Structure 1
Amino acid sequence: MVPAGGGACGYGDLDIFRYGRYTAGLSAALFGRGGACGGCYELRCVNRIQWCLRGSPTVVVTATDFCPANMGLADEAGGWCNFPREHLELSEAAFLRVAKAKADIVPVQFRRVSCDRAGGMRFTITGSAHFLQVLITNVAADGEVAAVKVKGSRTGWIPMGRNWGQNWQCDADLRGQPLSFEVTGGRGRTVTAYSVAPADWMFAQTFEGKQLVE
């Protein structure tokens, strides 16, 4: 079950950031050191008549956390997230959409799907006088973020590096400047959101910009 705090992707309160109840933690084979954060997966329970719900319904979940390995346990006896296993640790709400409550671990079929998001991408700005950090959420299309650049009114485009999860960082003081962002999704599509934050933006504020589209 995925922790309520939002987990290793850095999303914090999943309801505030529009990820809701249907979420999953990914094993290292899928997580990609945070590159899979925000991606969407459609899955269904298979090959367990006693545990799978009738009709084998599907649920779409968003990757919001990391499921760590437990190398002290065998793969089939608690080491579900050991590399190179592909494992999704579902939130309770998502699990109950595909399997019975009394089940524990069930085999699933899953595939990557596009993410359906309302509104634009959201940029939550943090940092200090010495660096800028932005958490990017509510990403549609492939849901993932592969690269980010930021631009102030007095700078060119500055590449940002992945700090952790979907938190991106650069060593620049951009206070007092309107901020624009260039975001590249996991499949290589790029969108430029100009003047997302006004010149008087403050740390811990969230702004909405253009959306990544298919």
Structure 2
Amino acid sequence: MALSFNNCSTFMICIILLLPAFSFGTENYYSKATFYKTSDGKGTPTGACGYGEHGRYVNDGLVTTASWKLYKNGAGCGACYQVRCKDEALCSNEGVKVVVTDSGEGPGTDFILSSDAFAKMAKHPKLAHMLFPKGVVDVDYKRVSCKYGNLKIKINEHSNYHGYLAIVPFNHGGYADIIAIEIYDVKSYKWIPMRRSYGAVFDLANPPKGDLKIKIQIKEAGACGYGEHGRYVNDGLVTAASWKLYKNGVGCGACYQVRCKDEALCGNEGVKVVVTDSGEGPGTDFILSSDAFAKMAMHPKLAYRLFPKGVFDVDYKRVSCKYGNLKIKINEHSNYHGYLAIVPFNHGGYADIIAIEIYDVKSYKWIPMRRSYGAVFDLANPPKGDLKMKIQIKEGEKTKWIHSDKAMIPDYWKPGSIYETDIQIP
């Protein structure tokens, strides 16, 4: 039976932005790109990421400055994007893979490419001279893996062995952002946080002497932290949500029924999507995966007419995801000896998870976990043994705690493992 929106108290009007459908997958976005000139067509040694001369030649000079939302105050440095211009007469279907080495934007642009990278978007090198006069072009883009080897650490030239250390990590894979770095002090047995000086540069006054161990905190692509699970949840019928629906991560996992208002093209039922990321365009509340966008069509054969419109008026309402029991995934960056990060998923979708606590049998106390980002909760030095948890949820204006008498996470848990609980969240 088709879902009725007429009597829904959460009925609202919004705009929906297309994630274009082409061979890169389901996480594509629409924007504009332009270019900047250097003497050799490659990058710049003075970029906002702090790569210096390395910034000129990384990825063979196929680099870009990124808009503020992609630069992320430096956390976006080193990210790789596949960028494809939309002029079918001039541009190839593959586009160009670029690395973020600087920050900058023009009117409506997310990328200012090196001239070598801009030319690479052309269908053939001989067509590049026709691409440059356009100046600004419409593009599709998505974040991709850089496919590097091991991470490298450069000691910034302004470092001083006697009292100041500044480092620049690079060659990271590109899917994840580096958001924090700490150095271990063998004398105090403590990890010392470094400061993000600017861009990709982290520094520390009076660093420890001797060989230095470091640990790096990363944030996976997808603001909810679902990782690979985020690609396949709900058969790929997923969405990025505006800030008001993302709720600083509390909205992760929520389900919405979304129906576009073009009666000639769109079905009455619409599509049920799950929030796995954060993002919005002008006036939009949802950025759907291309599979989900196509699903709104009245008939699959009409989907090709839906995509060119790009932005739609829609109705939406929050609905139940109709899952079974809650599941807990141990984040891959967890360490049994000192750090636990978890990602709850498969909750019903009507209620938001707003807090999680773990029971310590030694102290007879509940220990609050921290919302690290999105749906990821973490805790340093977690208790050993089987772990009981309680989860605080909010449904409407009411909050309550849900827990089980059974342990939700077994002793000797392993990073990457998924454990099914015996509770259900509405």
* TM-score exceeds 0.5: yes
Q: What does 1:115-154 correspond to in 2, within 5 Å?
A: 115-118=146-149, 120-126=150-156, 127-128=159-160, 129-142=162-175, 144-154=177-187
Q: Deviations over 1:153-195 (max 9, x none)?
A: 33421111210111101233323x1101101223176499xxx
Alignment correspondent of 1:168: 202
Alignment correspondent of 1:179: 212
2:67 maps to 1:27: yes
For 2:60, what is the secondary structure of its paired residue?
A: coil
> What one-letter code is carried by the residue in structure 2 that aligns with 1:97?
K
* Cα distance between partner residues in 2 of 1:37 and 1:141: 9
For 1:101, what is the secondary structure of its paired residue?
A: helix
Q: Which structure has more RCO (C-alpha within 8 Å, separation ≥ 6)?
A: 1
Choose which of 124, 136, 155 in structure 2 pairs with 1:105.
136
Q: Cα distance, 1:139 vs. partner?
A: 0.8
Q: Deviations over 1:134-157 (max 9, x none)?
A: 111111152531111112433421
Q: Cα distance, 1:108 vs. partner?
A: 0.4
> What one-letter code is carried by the residue in structure 2 that aligns with 1:58?
G
Alignment correspondent of 1:201: none
For 1:144, what is the secondary structure of its paired residue?
A: strand
Choose which of 24, 41, 45 in structure 1 pairs with 2:85.
45
**Structure 1 pair 16/94, CA: closer, same or farther in 2 (3 Å)?**
closer
**Structure 1 pair 6/139, CA: closer, same or farther in 2 (3 Å)?**
farther
Q: Deviations over 1:23-69 (max 9, x none)?
A: 110122321111110001011111x345x32x43321111011115x
Is the Cα–Cα contact under 8 Å of residues 44 and 56 in structure 2 kept in the other structure?
Answer: no
Is the Cα–Cα contact under 8 Å of residues 160 and 169 in structure 1 kept in the other structure?
Answer: yes
Q: Which moved more, 1:150-159 or 1:24-33?
A: 150-159
For 1:87, what is the secondary structure of its paired residue?
A: strand
CA RMSD, 1 decimal: 2.7
* Cα distance between partner residues in 2 of 1:182 and 1:40: 22
Is the Cα–Cα contact under 8 Å of residues 78 and 174 in structure 2 kept in the other structure?
Answer: no
* Cα distance between partner residues in 1 of 2:155 and 2:207: 12
Alignment correspondent of 2:114: 91
For 1:8, what is the secondary structure of its paired residue?
A: coil
> What one-letter code is carried by the residue in structure 1 that aligns with 2:175?
D
Alignment correspondent of 1:66: 103
> What one-letter code is carried by the residue in structure 2 that aligns with 1:94?
A
Segments of structure 2 that go 5 or more residues without pairing to the other structure are 1-35, 38-42, 123-127, 226-331, 336-415, 417-426
| Matched positions, count | 174
Alignment correspondent of 2:193: 159
**Structure 1 pair 26/12, CA: closer, same or farther in 2 (3 Å)?**
same
* Cα distance between partner residues in 2 of 1:101 and 1:45: 15
Is the Cα–Cα contact under 8 Å of residues 17 and 137 in structure 1 kept in the other structure?
Answer: no
For 1:64, what is the secondary structure of its paired residue?
A: strand
Is the Cα–Cα contact under 8 Å of residues 184 and 191 in structure 1 kept in the other structure?
Answer: no
Q: Cα distance, 1:16 vs. partner?
A: 8.4
Q: Name the structure with the higher helix share.
A: 2
For 2:77, what is the secondary structure of its paired residue?
A: coil
For 1:7, what is the secondary structure of its paired residue?
A: coil
For 2:48, what is the secondary structure of its paired residue?
A: helix
**Structure 1 pair 141/4, CA: closer, same or farther in 2 (3 Å)?**
closer
Aligned-residue sequence identity (percent) comes to 25
Is the Cα–Cα contact under 8 Å of residues 45 and 106 in structure 1 kept in the other structure?
Answer: yes
* Cα distance between partner residues in 1 of 2:46 and 2:148: 18
* Cα distance between partner residues in 1 of 2:179 and 2:104: 21
> What one-letter code is carried by the residue in structure 2 that aligns with 1:91?
S
> What one-letter code is carried by the residue in structure 2 that aligns with 1:165?
G
Is the Cα–Cα contact under 8 Å of residues 81 and 98 in structure 2 kept in the other structure?
Answer: yes
Choose which of 23, 33, 53 in structure 2 pairs with 1:13.
53
